[in-house]
Amino acid sequence: MISDRLKNIVLKELDLDDFDFKDSTTADMVPGWDSLTHIQIIVAVEKNYKIKFKGIEILKIKNMGELQSLIDAKLAAVSTGL
Amino acid sequence: MLHYFDIEKIKLLFQYDKSDPLLFTSSMFLFAFFVLLVLYRLVYKNKTARIYLIILFSVFFYYKACGIYFLLLFLLTFINYFSGKWIGISKNRIGKNTLFILAVLLNIGILIYFKYTNFFIGILNDVRSSHITPLDVFLPLGISFIIFKALSYVIEIYLENIKPVDSIRDFTLFIFYFPTLLLGPIERASDFLPQVEEDIKINKEVIGTALFLIMSGLLKKVVIADYIGINFVDRVFETPLRFTGVENLIAAYAYTLQIYTDFSGYTDMALGISLMLGYRLTDNFNSPFKAASIADFWRRWHITLSSWCLDYIFKPLQIKFRSIGILGNALALFITFIIIGLWHGPGWTYIAFGAIHGAYLVSSIFTKKLRTKFYKKTKLASSNSVKLLQWFFTLHLVVFAFIVFRAQSLSIVADMLNQMVNFFHGEVFIQFVNGYKLIFGLIIIGYIVHLLPEKIKESVKNFVINASLYAQVVMLVVVIWVVIQFRFADLQPFLYFKF
């Protein structure tokens, strides 16, 4: 499940009104999500959630579902003080 | 006597001759490939036999290109097979990273040694005015393609996008596969290796597509690229000051067409030859001169190289520089394109080619917001005349970069531009067209065919696929006959025009 918070970050970065994001949604399915805007979205996510991804974690993300679970894992690590 | 002559010829076929690799357009290759196909037909149902047959032929093919250096293929197979395997089973991060870095350094080290040693020695000598003697390094053909292909396998395993392949035999086929050895495409293991597992299906459609690709490749490479190259483009780029500006300009357009028909023609043949053996390769070109922007051009030109560099150079750099915003994107792009330039060869003109395309793309990043605003306000984005303008502008940026790519030195580029600006002599154009009817015709036909809608090209392809076997043979014979006419045609005499 893609949270509304993540969805809104992506919509704002891509200047879109709405989009039906699913776990399996990949960048090439979303208008405007190209190799340049990709990194803007990542940076916006990091800022919004106050988390920091590792380079290799970003390279491995294949779809929205994986981005969401990476965020969730980071947040869980923060809240448990890891 | 005749008998003796034949044996000598066959002996020659197995000898390494530096100046005579088995290019797909040579009659030697045609003969050798025909023999391979006959043998392949006998054994193709047996997986082990068909794989070893292709590996054996590939060894022969690369031996013909590089002599004893064909052993390099074994070295690269060994390094990358075991690197991939160990990275795959390594459990801790540090071990994985160390193995990965080691594998990358080994591959890049081999590439730099063979291709760039003397270039760097030259730079060192210039900078420190020292006199290190250049080394006598042999350049194994296609090494940049082979190493990038091998590297993609290790990188994909490191990124956990694929699992290491179990069979060293299948991996050997991936590295050795002769259709891709000399000029790519830079196949990804994830596209190629699954096909090795499957049964080979060669039906009428596959054979028809293969024939279409081989015929179109032959026509592009021999009739257009080689012919306009030898008879016109080479001469102008050799001594641009002997020609008027208008001839220099035509040579720039002609070279742009030449490099496309040469490279994509050879790739078409590689794709067709591979299909005959039952393996689909990735297409490298998608009508690049139809591009409406430079970014669009790189999505259509040498696709397997540009996507390789996008995934493995640009993205990691972009992530590294992400804290500095748009500047990070620009920096990552520019560095990527310098590397793309250098990948083509050890020379300043190649670096300049990369830098020019890098600069185009960087300026497009910085003006993107402005352009979006402009198009939104004026509602011109979907206007046909604007699209035409964008296409025209893009094409000329591409042509300019190719002048730099082809020129022997940057001073030749300066000479050509100088002739175009200060010594144009437009009146020579009519004389040129009259004097070089065939060459001018080929350039025009080349561009027109390139710019035709894809639908038309598709229907020609379907026509070849659906034709009867008899008709297909006739078409192939006609194409080969035309190719021979051009191949062995006398050189066009030099023409001097009055102005």
Q: Which of B197, B228, B258 is the last residue of a domain?
A: B197
Torsions phi, psi of B159, nearest 5?
-80, 0
Could you tell me the CA-to-CA distances from B498 to A60, B111, B243, B419, B438 in Å, in that order? 63, 49, 11, 16, 20
Could you tell me the CA-to-CA distances from B4 to B1, B9, B11, B195 in Å, in that order? 5, 9, 11, 43
Task: Answer whether residue B259 is part of any domain.
Answer: yes
Q: What type of residue is B58?
A: S
> Does one domain contain both B105 and B214?
no
> Does one domain contain both B169 and B234?
no
Q: Hey, what are B288's tokens?
A: 């690049």
Task: Answer whether residue B322 is part of any domain.
Answer: no
- Report how many domains make up chain B: 2
Instruction: Collect all residues with Cβ–Cβ distance below 8 Å to B168 and sequence separation of at least 6.
Output: B77, B81
Residue B344 annotated as catalytic: yes
Give me the pLDDT at residue B1, please. 45
**Cα angle B8-B9-B11, degrees, rounded to a multiple of 5:** 65
**ipTM of the shown complex:** 0.92
> Does one domain contain both B167 and B108?
yes
Task: Answer whether residue B420 is part of any domain.
Answer: yes
Contact B314, B332 (CB under 8 A): yes
Q: Which of B144, B179, B197 is the last residue of a domain?
A: B197
Task: Answer whether residue B493 is part of any domain.
Answer: no
Q: Provide, as residue numbers in chain B, all residues whose Cβ is less than 8 Å from the Cβ of A60.
A: 159-161
* Interface with A, mutate which of B162, B318, B326 (most A CBs under 10 A): B318
B104-156 pLDDT per residue, tens: 999 999 999 999 999 999 999 988 888 889 888 999 999 999 999 999 999 99
Q: DSSP letters of B265-331?
A: HHHHHHHHHHHHTT-------S-GGG-SSHHHHHHHSSHHHHHHHIIIIIHHHHHHTGGGTHHHHHH
Task: Answer whether residue B360 is part of any domain.
Answer: no
Residues A43, B322: C-beta atoms closer than 8 Å:
yes
Q: Which domains does chain A have, with CATH numbers?
A: 4-79 (1.10.1200.10)
Torsions phi, psi of A17, nearest 5?
-80, -45
Contact B354, B415 (CB under 8 A): no
**Cα angle B36-B40-B42, degrees, rounded to a multiple of 5:** 125
> Does one domain contain both B169 and B261?
no
> Does one domain contain both B76 and B167?
yes
- Of B302, B344, B357, B425, the active-site residue reads B344
> Does one domain contain both B156 and B245?
no
> Does one domain contain both B220 and B163?
no
Residues B329, A36: C-beta atoms closer than 8 Å:
yes
> Does one domain contain both B191 and B74?
yes
Task: Answer whether residue B276 is part of any domain.
Answer: yes
Residues A59, B159: C-beta atoms closer than 8 Å:
yes
Q: Which of B197, B222, B253 is the last residue of a domain?
A: B197
A58 interfacial to chain B (CB closer than 8 Å): yes
Q: Hey, what are B497's tokens?
A: 């025009």
Q: What is the pLDDT along chain B (499 residues), one digit of tens a residue?
A: 445 557 777 777 888 888 888 889 888 898 999 999 999 999 999 999 999 999 999 999 999 999 999 999 999 999 999 999 999 999 999 999 999 999 999 999 999 999 999 999 999 998 888 888 988 899 999 999 999 999 999 999 999 999 999 999 999 999 999 999 999 999 999 999 999 999 998 899 999 999 999 999 999 999 999 999 999 999 999 999 999 999 999 999 999 999 999 999 999 999 999 999 999 999 999 999 999 999 999 999 999 999 999 999 999 999 999 999 899 999 999 999 999 999 999 999 999 999 999 999 999 999 988 998 898 888 887 889 999 999 999 999 999 999 999 999 999 999 999 999 999 999 999 999 999 999 999 999 999 999 999 999 999 999 999 999 999 999 999 999 999 999 888 777 766 666 6
> Does one domain contain both B214 and B192?
no
Q: Whole-angstrom Cα distance, residue A32 to residue A25?
A: 14
Q: Hey, what are B309's tokens?
A: 């560099």
Q: From the CB of residue A54, how many other CB atoms can be counted at a distance below 10 Å?
A: 12
Instruction: Collect all residues with Cβ–Cβ distance below 8 Å to B274 and sequence separation of at least 6.
Output: B177, B179, B180, B280, B281
> Does one domain contain both B193 and B211?
no
SS (H, E, C) chain A: CCCHHHHHHHHHHHCCCCCCCCCCCCHHHCCCCCHHHHHHHHHHHHHHHCCCCCHHHHHHCCCHHHHHHHHHHHHHHHHCCC
> Does one domain contain both B210 and B190?
no
Residue B140 lies in domain:
68-197
A50-62 pLDDT per residue, tens: 999 999 999 999 9
Q: What is the CA radius of gyration of chain B?
A: 24
Task: Answer whether residue B106 is part of any domain.
Answer: yes
